[in-house]
Amino acid sequence: MSTRNATPLDDFVAERLPAWVALRRDIHREAELGFTEYRTVAVLADRLGQLGFALRMGSEVMAGESMRGRPAPELVTRRAASAAEIPGGAAVARALPDGMTGLVAELRRGDGPVVALRFDIDALPVNESADRAHRPAAGGYRSANAGVMHACGHDGHAAIGIGVAEWLADPRSRWSGTIRLVFQPAEEGGRGAKPMADAGVVDDCTHFFAAHLGCGLASGRIAAAATSMLYSTKLDVRFRGRAAHAGGSPHEGRNALLAGATATVGLHAISRHGEGRSRVNVGRMDAGTARNVIADHCLLEMEVRGETEAVADYMEQRAREVIAGAAAMHDVTHEIEVVGQTIGGDADATAADIVASAAAATPGVREVLPVWALGGGEDAPFFMRRVQARGGIATYFVIGADLAACHHAVDFDFDEASIGTGVAVYARVVEQASAAA
Protein backbone atom coordinates (compact mmCIF):
# COMPACT_ATOMS: atom_id res chain seq x y z
CA MET A 1 0.00 0.00 0.00
CA SER A 2 3.01 2.21 -0.31
CA THR A 3 1.72 3.57 -3.57
CA ARG A 4 -0.94 5.79 -2.05
CA ASN A 5 -0.19 9.48 -2.52
CA ALA A 6 -0.69 12.00 0.22
CA THR A 7 -3.86 14.01 -0.30
CA PRO A 8 -4.80 17.40 1.19
CA LEU A 9 -6.60 15.43 3.95
CA ASP A 10 -3.45 13.54 4.77
CA ASP A 11 -1.37 16.71 4.86
CA PHE A 12 -3.98 18.26 7.10
CA VAL A 13 -3.87 15.31 9.47
CA ALA A 14 -0.08 15.36 9.63
CA GLU A 15 -0.10 19.05 10.40
CA ARG A 16 -2.86 18.99 13.00
CA LEU A 17 -1.98 15.76 14.81
CA PRO A 18 0.14 17.49 17.50
CA ALA A 19 -2.84 19.68 18.41
CA TRP A 20 -5.16 16.70 18.69
CA VAL A 21 -2.63 14.86 20.82
CA ALA A 22 -2.44 17.90 23.08
CA LEU A 23 -6.24 17.92 23.30
CA ARG A 24 -6.29 14.23 24.12
CA ARG A 25 -3.78 14.81 26.90
CA ASP A 26 -5.80 17.67 28.32
CA ILE A 27 -8.90 15.52 28.42
CA HIS A 28 -6.85 12.65 29.84
CA ARG A 29 -5.61 14.80 32.69
CA GLU A 30 -9.13 15.95 33.49
CA ALA A 31 -10.77 12.56 33.25
CA GLU A 32 -14.46 12.58 34.19
CA LEU A 33 -16.82 9.73 35.00
CA GLY A 34 -19.97 9.01 33.03
CA PHE A 35 -22.69 11.69 33.29
CA THR A 36 -20.20 14.10 34.90
CA GLU A 37 -18.18 15.07 31.79
CA TYR A 38 -18.88 18.78 32.34
CA ARG A 39 -15.40 20.11 31.72
CA THR A 40 -14.90 17.75 28.79
CA VAL A 41 -18.12 18.91 27.14
CA ALA A 42 -17.18 22.53 27.80
CA VAL A 43 -13.86 22.00 26.01
CA LEU A 44 -15.50 20.24 23.07
CA ALA A 45 -18.33 22.76 22.80
CA ASP A 46 -15.86 25.63 22.75
CA ARG A 47 -13.93 24.15 19.84
CA LEU A 48 -16.96 22.98 17.88
CA GLY A 49 -18.61 26.36 18.24
CA GLN A 50 -15.54 28.06 16.86
CA LEU A 51 -15.66 25.70 13.88
CA GLY A 52 -19.20 26.77 13.09
CA PHE A 53 -21.10 23.71 14.26
CA ALA A 54 -24.61 24.17 15.62
CA LEU A 55 -24.75 22.75 19.13
CA ARG A 56 -27.50 21.03 21.06
CA MET A 57 -26.95 19.55 24.50
CA GLY A 58 -28.46 18.41 27.81
CA SER A 59 -32.17 17.66 27.81
CA GLU A 60 -32.41 18.61 24.13
CA VAL A 61 -30.46 15.49 23.23
CA MET A 62 -31.12 13.13 26.16
CA ALA A 63 -34.30 11.45 27.35
CA GLY A 64 -34.01 11.81 31.12
CA GLU A 65 -36.32 8.90 31.83
CA SER A 66 -33.89 6.57 30.05
CA MET A 67 -30.95 7.55 32.22
CA ARG A 68 -29.81 4.89 34.63
CA GLY A 69 -26.89 4.67 36.99
CA ARG A 70 -26.83 8.39 37.64
CA PRO A 71 -23.90 9.72 39.66
CA ALA A 72 -24.07 11.26 43.13
CA PRO A 73 -25.41 14.84 43.07
CA GLU A 74 -22.31 16.14 44.90
CA LEU A 75 -20.08 14.81 42.15
CA VAL A 76 -22.29 16.39 39.48
CA THR A 77 -22.08 19.71 41.28
CA ARG A 78 -18.33 19.48 41.63
CA ARG A 79 -17.70 18.63 38.00
CA ALA A 80 -20.18 21.24 36.80
CA ALA A 81 -18.16 23.80 38.72
CA SER A 82 -14.99 22.60 37.02
CA ALA A 83 -16.42 23.55 33.64
CA ALA A 84 -16.18 27.20 34.57
CA GLU A 85 -12.44 27.22 33.90
CA ILE A 86 -13.17 26.81 30.18
CA PRO A 87 -14.32 29.84 28.12
CA GLY A 88 -18.11 29.69 28.03
CA GLY A 89 -17.99 26.70 30.32
CA ALA A 90 -20.35 28.08 32.93
CA ALA A 91 -23.10 28.43 30.36
CA VAL A 92 -22.44 24.96 29.08
CA ALA A 93 -22.67 23.54 32.60
CA ARG A 94 -26.05 25.25 33.07
CA ALA A 95 -27.23 23.63 29.84
CA LEU A 96 -26.40 20.18 31.17
CA PRO A 97 -28.78 19.69 34.10
CA ASP A 98 -28.61 16.65 36.36
CA GLY A 99 -25.76 14.90 34.61
CA MET A 100 -27.25 15.23 31.12
CA THR A 101 -23.82 15.63 29.57
CA GLY A 102 -24.65 14.72 25.98
CA LEU A 103 -23.56 17.03 23.17
CA VAL A 104 -24.62 17.01 19.49
CA ALA A 105 -22.79 19.17 16.94
CA GLU A 106 -24.18 19.58 13.44
CA LEU A 107 -22.90 21.06 10.20
CA ARG A 108 -24.86 21.31 6.96
CA ARG A 109 -23.55 21.77 3.46
CA GLY A 110 -26.38 21.59 0.94
CA ASP A 111 -28.36 18.44 0.27
CA GLY A 112 -27.19 14.95 0.84
CA PRO A 113 -27.13 12.17 3.33
CA VAL A 114 -27.41 12.68 7.06
CA VAL A 115 -24.33 11.08 8.49
CA ALA A 116 -23.95 10.56 12.23
CA LEU A 117 -20.60 9.86 13.83
CA ARG A 118 -20.56 8.94 17.49
CA PHE A 119 -17.71 9.59 19.94
CA ASP A 120 -17.86 8.48 23.57
CA ILE A 121 -16.08 10.71 26.06
CA ASP A 122 -16.26 9.26 29.59
CA ALA A 123 -13.54 7.85 31.83
CA LEU A 124 -13.47 4.97 34.30
CA PRO A 125 -13.23 4.66 38.10
CA VAL A 126 -9.65 3.41 37.86
CA ASN A 127 -6.74 4.80 39.86
CA GLU A 128 -4.14 5.69 37.23
CA SER A 129 -0.62 4.41 37.63
CA ALA A 130 1.92 6.91 38.92
CA ASP A 131 4.79 4.75 37.71
CA ARG A 132 7.33 6.64 35.60
CA ALA A 133 7.15 3.86 33.05
CA HIS A 134 3.55 4.97 32.42
CA ARG A 135 3.79 7.68 29.77
CA PRO A 136 0.98 9.90 31.10
CA ALA A 137 2.70 9.91 34.50
CA ALA A 138 6.11 10.68 33.04
CA GLY A 139 4.61 13.24 30.66
CA GLY A 140 2.71 15.17 33.27
CA TYR A 141 -0.81 14.41 32.06
CA ARG A 142 -1.71 11.65 34.49
CA SER A 143 -5.27 12.10 35.72
CA ALA A 144 -5.64 14.92 38.18
CA ASN A 145 -8.88 13.37 39.44
CA ALA A 146 -7.90 10.69 41.93
CA GLY A 147 -9.53 7.38 41.16
CA VAL A 148 -10.75 8.44 37.72
CA MET A 149 -8.83 7.53 34.56
CA HIS A 150 -9.24 7.40 30.82
CA ALA A 151 -8.29 3.73 30.77
CA CYS A 152 -10.28 2.83 27.69
CA GLY A 153 -9.18 5.43 25.14
CA HIS A 154 -12.29 7.61 25.06
CA ASP A 155 -9.99 10.62 25.43
CA GLY A 156 -8.63 9.57 22.03
CA HIS A 157 -12.16 9.18 20.66
CA ALA A 158 -12.98 12.73 21.71
CA ALA A 159 -9.82 14.05 20.08
CA ILE A 160 -10.64 12.17 16.86
CA GLY A 161 -14.10 13.74 16.91
CA ILE A 162 -12.60 17.23 17.04
CA GLY A 163 -10.14 16.31 14.28
CA VAL A 164 -12.93 15.10 12.03
CA ALA A 165 -14.89 18.26 12.78
CA GLU A 166 -11.95 20.41 11.82
CA TRP A 167 -11.56 18.71 8.44
CA LEU A 168 -15.24 18.68 7.65
CA ALA A 169 -15.37 22.42 8.41
CA ASP A 170 -12.39 22.96 6.14
CA PRO A 171 -13.27 24.14 2.62
CA ARG A 172 -10.99 21.49 1.14
CA SER A 173 -13.21 18.68 2.38
CA ARG A 174 -15.54 17.22 -0.25
CA TRP A 175 -18.99 16.38 0.98
CA SER A 176 -22.52 17.65 1.01
CA GLY A 177 -25.46 16.93 3.23
CA THR A 178 -25.59 16.93 7.02
CA ILE A 179 -22.91 15.84 9.45
CA ARG A 180 -23.97 15.15 12.98
CA LEU A 181 -21.30 14.50 15.59
CA VAL A 182 -22.72 12.77 18.65
CA PHE A 183 -20.52 13.18 21.73
CA GLN A 184 -21.92 10.62 24.11
CA PRO A 185 -21.41 10.44 27.86
CA ALA A 186 -21.33 7.34 30.01
CA GLU A 187 -20.52 4.59 27.56
CA GLU A 188 -18.90 2.72 30.44
CA GLY A 189 -21.68 0.92 32.17
CA GLY A 190 -23.76 1.04 29.01
CA ARG A 191 -25.72 4.07 30.12
CA GLY A 192 -25.29 7.00 27.75
CA ALA A 193 -26.36 5.76 24.33
CA LYS A 194 -29.91 4.81 25.14
CA PRO A 195 -31.03 8.21 26.49
CA MET A 196 -29.56 9.92 23.40
CA ALA A 197 -31.04 7.38 21.00
CA ASP A 198 -34.39 7.63 22.79
CA ALA A 199 -34.23 11.41 22.41
CA GLY A 200 -34.18 10.82 18.66
CA VAL A 201 -30.80 12.30 17.85
CA VAL A 202 -30.12 9.79 15.06
CA ASP A 203 -33.68 9.22 13.89
CA ASP A 204 -33.27 10.94 10.54
CA CYS A 205 -29.80 9.61 9.79
CA THR A 206 -29.00 7.72 6.60
CA HIS A 207 -25.63 6.62 7.94
CA PHE A 208 -24.25 5.89 11.38
CA PHE A 209 -20.62 5.18 12.24
CA ALA A 210 -18.86 4.63 15.53
CA ALA A 211 -15.47 3.18 16.33
CA HIS A 212 -13.12 2.15 19.09
CA LEU A 213 -9.37 2.48 19.37
CA GLY A 214 -7.30 -0.55 20.25
CA CYS A 215 -9.33 -3.61 21.25
CA GLY A 216 -6.35 -5.85 20.53
CA LEU A 217 -5.89 -4.61 16.96
CA ALA A 218 -2.38 -3.26 16.33
CA SER A 219 -1.59 0.18 14.96
CA GLY A 220 -2.00 0.32 11.19
CA ARG A 221 -4.87 -2.14 11.09
CA ILE A 222 -8.54 -1.28 10.61
CA ALA A 223 -11.49 -3.64 10.99
CA ALA A 224 -14.59 -2.56 9.08
CA ALA A 225 -17.08 -4.14 11.46
CA ALA A 226 -17.00 -5.40 15.00
CA THR A 227 -18.65 -8.69 15.85
CA SER A 228 -19.24 -10.36 19.15
CA MET A 229 -20.31 -7.27 21.00
CA LEU A 230 -21.58 -8.82 24.19
CA TYR A 231 -25.05 -8.22 25.50
CA SER A 232 -24.73 -7.04 29.07
CA THR A 233 -26.71 -5.91 32.06
CA LYS A 234 -25.22 -3.80 34.83
CA LEU A 235 -26.70 -4.35 38.27
CA ASP A 236 -26.38 -2.68 41.64
CA VAL A 237 -27.27 -5.09 44.43
CA ARG A 238 -28.00 -3.98 47.97
CA PHE A 239 -28.32 -6.32 50.92
CA ARG A 240 -29.80 -5.08 54.21
CA GLY A 241 -29.32 -6.99 57.45
CA ARG A 242 -29.24 -6.11 61.11
CA ALA A 243 -26.30 -4.75 63.08
CA ALA A 244 -25.27 -6.24 66.40
CA HIS A 245 -22.24 -6.39 68.65
CA ALA A 246 -19.96 -9.02 67.17
CA GLY A 247 -18.68 -10.08 70.57
CA GLY A 248 -21.72 -9.96 72.81
CA SER A 249 -24.69 -10.86 70.66
CA PRO A 250 -23.57 -12.00 67.23
CA HIS A 251 -26.69 -14.16 66.85
CA GLU A 252 -28.84 -11.05 66.89
CA GLY A 253 -27.11 -9.74 63.78
CA ARG A 254 -28.10 -10.55 60.23
CA ASN A 255 -24.91 -10.32 58.27
CA ALA A 256 -25.30 -8.39 55.02
CA LEU A 257 -21.56 -8.52 54.32
CA LEU A 258 -21.54 -12.29 54.57
CA ALA A 259 -24.56 -12.44 52.28
CA GLY A 260 -22.70 -10.28 49.78
CA ALA A 261 -19.60 -12.45 49.98
CA THR A 262 -21.67 -15.59 49.51
CA ALA A 263 -23.47 -14.05 46.56
CA THR A 264 -20.18 -12.95 45.02
CA VAL A 265 -18.69 -16.40 45.14
CA GLY A 266 -21.93 -17.90 43.85
CA LEU A 267 -22.19 -15.38 41.02
CA HIS A 268 -18.72 -16.16 39.75
CA ALA A 269 -19.63 -19.85 39.94
CA ILE A 270 -22.63 -19.58 37.62
CA SER A 271 -22.12 -22.27 35.03
CA ARG A 272 -20.73 -21.43 31.64
CA HIS A 273 -23.26 -21.60 28.81
CA GLY A 274 -22.85 -24.21 26.10
CA GLU A 275 -24.06 -21.93 23.32
CA GLY A 276 -21.87 -18.89 23.62
CA ARG A 277 -19.55 -16.80 25.69
CA SER A 278 -20.79 -15.62 29.06
CA ARG A 279 -19.32 -13.28 31.62
CA VAL A 280 -20.01 -12.25 35.18
CA ASN A 281 -18.12 -9.83 37.37
CA VAL A 282 -18.64 -8.29 40.74
CA GLY A 283 -16.31 -5.35 40.32
CA ARG A 284 -17.02 -3.51 43.53
CA MET A 285 -18.13 -4.39 47.02
CA ASP A 286 -18.65 -2.00 49.89
CA ALA A 287 -20.05 -3.38 53.12
CA GLY A 288 -20.26 -2.74 56.81
CA THR A 289 -18.98 -0.03 59.10
CA ALA A 290 -16.80 -1.40 61.88
CA ARG A 291 -14.94 -4.58 62.58
CA ASN A 292 -16.78 -5.28 65.79
CA VAL A 293 -20.25 -4.77 64.41
CA ILE A 294 -22.14 -7.32 62.34
CA ALA A 295 -22.47 -5.54 58.99
CA ASP A 296 -26.00 -4.42 58.20
CA HIS A 297 -25.48 -3.29 54.62
CA CYS A 298 -23.61 -4.39 51.55
CA LEU A 299 -23.44 -3.00 48.03
CA LEU A 300 -22.30 -5.05 45.05
CA GLU A 301 -21.67 -3.39 41.68
CA MET A 302 -21.76 -6.12 39.09
CA GLU A 303 -22.49 -7.03 35.51
CA VAL A 304 -23.36 -10.06 33.43
CA ARG A 305 -22.71 -10.50 29.73
CA GLY A 306 -23.59 -12.95 27.01
CA GLU A 307 -22.61 -13.54 23.42
CA THR A 308 -26.28 -13.76 22.47
CA GLU A 309 -29.42 -12.38 24.00
CA ALA A 310 -30.29 -15.89 25.19
CA VAL A 311 -26.97 -16.31 26.92
CA ALA A 312 -27.24 -12.88 28.51
CA ASP A 313 -30.76 -13.64 29.69
CA TYR A 314 -29.57 -16.91 31.20
CA MET A 315 -26.81 -15.09 33.06
CA GLU A 316 -29.12 -12.42 34.40
CA GLN A 317 -31.74 -14.94 35.42
CA ARG A 318 -29.20 -17.11 37.21
CA ALA A 319 -27.60 -14.07 38.82
CA ARG A 320 -30.94 -13.01 40.26
CA GLU A 321 -31.45 -16.50 41.66
CA VAL A 322 -28.01 -16.51 43.23
CA ILE A 323 -28.55 -13.10 44.82
CA ALA A 324 -31.98 -13.96 46.17
CA GLY A 325 -30.73 -17.30 47.46
CA ALA A 326 -27.73 -15.75 49.19
CA ALA A 327 -30.01 -13.23 50.86
CA ALA A 328 -32.27 -16.03 52.04
CA MET A 329 -29.30 -18.02 53.33
CA HIS A 330 -28.33 -15.15 55.59
CA ASP A 331 -31.84 -13.94 56.40
CA VAL A 332 -31.31 -10.47 54.94
CA THR A 333 -33.28 -8.50 52.40
CA HIS A 334 -32.02 -7.47 49.00
CA GLU A 335 -32.74 -5.11 46.14
CA ILE A 336 -31.50 -5.34 42.58
CA GLU A 337 -31.34 -2.24 40.40
CA VAL A 338 -30.54 -2.31 36.70
CA VAL A 339 -28.14 0.58 36.11
CA GLY A 340 -26.96 -0.06 32.57
CA GLN A 341 -27.25 -2.29 29.58
CA THR A 342 -25.54 -3.02 26.31
CA ILE A 343 -26.88 -5.00 23.41
CA GLY A 344 -25.40 -6.68 20.38
CA GLY A 345 -25.44 -4.99 17.02
CA ASP A 346 -24.97 -6.14 13.45
CA ALA A 347 -23.14 -4.07 10.90
CA ASP A 348 -24.64 -3.42 7.47
CA ALA A 349 -22.37 -4.75 4.74
CA THR A 350 -22.72 -1.48 2.78
CA ALA A 351 -21.64 0.56 5.76
CA ALA A 352 -18.73 -1.77 6.48
CA ASP A 353 -17.70 -1.51 2.82
CA ILE A 354 -17.51 2.28 3.12
CA VAL A 355 -15.19 1.91 6.09
CA ALA A 356 -13.07 -0.71 4.33
CA SER A 357 -12.72 1.46 1.29
CA ALA A 358 -11.92 4.56 3.33
CA ALA A 359 -9.34 2.64 5.33
CA ALA A 360 -7.70 1.20 2.25
CA ALA A 361 -7.21 4.72 0.90
CA THR A 362 -5.56 5.96 4.09
CA PRO A 363 -1.76 6.15 4.33
CA GLY A 364 -0.40 4.21 7.27
CA VAL A 365 -3.15 1.63 7.17
CA ARG A 366 -1.33 -1.61 6.51
CA GLU A 367 -4.21 -4.02 6.69
CA VAL A 368 -7.99 -3.86 6.47
CA LEU A 369 -9.95 -6.69 8.08
CA PRO A 370 -13.62 -7.29 7.30
CA VAL A 371 -14.52 -8.10 10.92
CA TRP A 372 -12.96 -8.11 14.37
CA ALA A 373 -14.35 -9.81 17.44
CA LEU A 374 -14.79 -7.48 20.41
CA GLY A 375 -14.68 -9.08 23.79
CA GLY A 376 -16.56 -6.35 25.56
CA GLY A 377 -19.94 -4.69 25.42
CA GLU A 378 -20.83 -1.44 23.74
CA ASP A 379 -23.91 0.67 23.86
CA ALA A 380 -23.47 2.02 20.32
CA PRO A 381 -25.92 -0.65 19.09
CA PHE A 382 -28.73 1.39 20.65
CA PHE A 383 -27.97 3.98 17.95
CA MET A 384 -27.31 1.38 15.25
CA ARG A 385 -30.64 -0.35 15.73
CA ARG A 386 -32.49 2.98 15.80
CA VAL A 387 -30.92 3.99 12.47
CA GLN A 388 -31.39 0.58 10.91
CA ALA A 389 -35.04 0.43 11.99
CA ARG A 390 -35.64 3.61 9.98
CA GLY A 391 -33.87 2.47 6.84
CA GLY A 392 -30.37 3.77 7.46
CA ILE A 393 -27.16 1.80 7.56
CA ALA A 394 -24.58 1.48 10.32
CA THR A 395 -21.36 -0.10 11.35
CA TYR A 396 -19.09 -0.11 14.35
CA PHE A 397 -15.46 -0.33 13.31
CA VAL A 398 -12.13 -0.70 15.04
CA ILE A 399 -9.10 1.56 14.67
CA GLY A 400 -5.96 -0.41 15.50
CA ALA A 401 -3.69 1.08 18.12
CA ASP A 402 -0.76 -0.47 19.94
CA LEU A 403 -1.52 -0.57 23.64
CA ALA A 404 0.77 -0.32 26.68
CA ALA A 405 -1.58 -2.49 28.73
CA CYS A 406 -5.01 -3.98 28.36
CA HIS A 407 -8.15 -1.86 28.48
CA HIS A 408 -9.20 -0.82 31.99
CA ALA A 409 -5.76 -1.47 33.46
CA VAL A 410 -4.11 1.21 35.59
CA ASP A 411 -1.31 1.57 33.04
CA PHE A 412 -3.46 1.55 29.92
CA ASP A 413 -2.13 3.82 27.18
CA PHE A 414 -2.37 3.81 23.38
CA ASP A 415 -0.28 4.84 20.38
CA GLU A 416 -1.35 8.44 19.83
CA ALA A 417 -0.53 8.23 16.12
CA SER A 418 -3.75 6.26 15.82
CA ILE A 419 -5.65 9.50 16.48
CA GLY A 420 -4.45 10.74 13.10
CA THR A 421 -5.38 7.45 11.46
CA GLY A 422 -8.80 7.67 13.04
CA VAL A 423 -9.41 11.18 11.81
CA ALA A 424 -8.33 10.27 8.28
CA VAL A 425 -10.50 7.17 8.09
CA TYR A 426 -13.57 8.90 9.56
CA ALA A 427 -13.12 11.85 7.20
CA ARG A 428 -12.96 9.59 4.16
CA VAL A 429 -15.95 7.62 5.44
CA VAL A 430 -18.01 10.81 5.41
CA GLU A 431 -16.76 11.83 1.99
CA GLN A 432 -17.47 8.43 0.51
CA ALA A 433 -20.91 8.24 2.08
CA SER A 434 -21.64 11.62 0.59
CA ALA A 435 -20.29 10.65 -2.82
CA ALA A 436 -22.23 7.40 -2.92
CA ALA A 437 -25.54 9.02 -2.07
Binding to a second copy (CB under 8 A) within 305-364 occurs at 305, 311, 314, 318, 321-322, 324-331
Distances (CA, A) of 365 to 8, 114, 238, 404, 432: 17, 27, 48, 20, 17
Candidate ranges 45-53, 176-184, 191-199, 404-412; the one touching a second copy (CB under 8 A): 404-412
Is 282 among the residues that bind a second copy (CB under 8 A)? yes
Q: Which of 188, 379, 415, 431 binds a second copy (CB under 8 A)?
A: 188
As measured in angstroms, the least distance from the Cβ of 234 to a second copy is 6
Non-local (6+) Cβ contacts of 293 within 8 A are 243, 244, 245, 246, 253
Q: Is 401 helix (H, G, I), strand (E, B) or coil?
A: coil
Angle among Cα 359, 360, 366 to the nearest 5 degrees reads: 90
Residue in 100, 98, 103 with CA at minimum distance from that of residue 63: 100
Among 75, 90, 169, 285, binds a second copy (CB under 8 A): 285
- Residue 226 CB-half CA count within 13 A: 32
C-beta of 50 vs 249, nearer to a second copy: 249
CB of 326 to a second copy, least distance (A): 6
Q: Is residue 251 at the binding interface for a second copy, with CB under 8 A as the rule?
A: yes
78 binds a second copy (CB under 8 A): no
197, 244, 355, 430: residue in contact with a second copy (rule CB under 8 A):
244
Q: What angle do CA 15, 31, 213 make, to 5 degrees?
A: 55
Q: Does 301 bind a second copy (CB under 8 A)?
A: yes
From 52-60, 88-96, 280-288, 383-391, span contacting a second copy (CB under 8 A): 280-288
- Does the footprint of a second copy cover residue 302 (CB under 8 A)? yes
Least separation in angstroms between residue 222's CB and a second copy is: 19
How many other C-beta atoms lie within 10 A of the C-beta of residue 171?
Answer: 5
Contact indicator for 167, 173 with CB cutoff of 8 Å: yes
Among 49, 87, 97, 216, binds a second copy (CB under 8 A): 216
- Asked if 376 is part of the footprint of a second copy (rule: CB under 8 A), the reply reads yes
Q: Is 289 in the site for a second copy (CB under 8 A)?
A: yes
CA angle 216, 218, 222 (to 5 degrees): 95
Q: Give every CB contact of residue 261 below 8 A, 6+ residues apart in sequence.
A: 285
Question: Which of 15, 337 has the CB closer to a second copy?
Answer: 337
Q: Is 291 in the site for a second copy (CB under 8 A)?
A: yes
Provide the mask over 141-180, with x wherever binding to a second copy is found by CB under 8 A and - wherever it is not.
------x---------------------------------
Report which residue type is found at 46: D
Least Cβ distance, residue 406 to a second copy (angstroms): 5
Amino acid letter, residue 209:
F
289 vs 350, beta carbon nearer a second copy: 289
Report d(CA 388, CA 381) in Å as an integer: 10
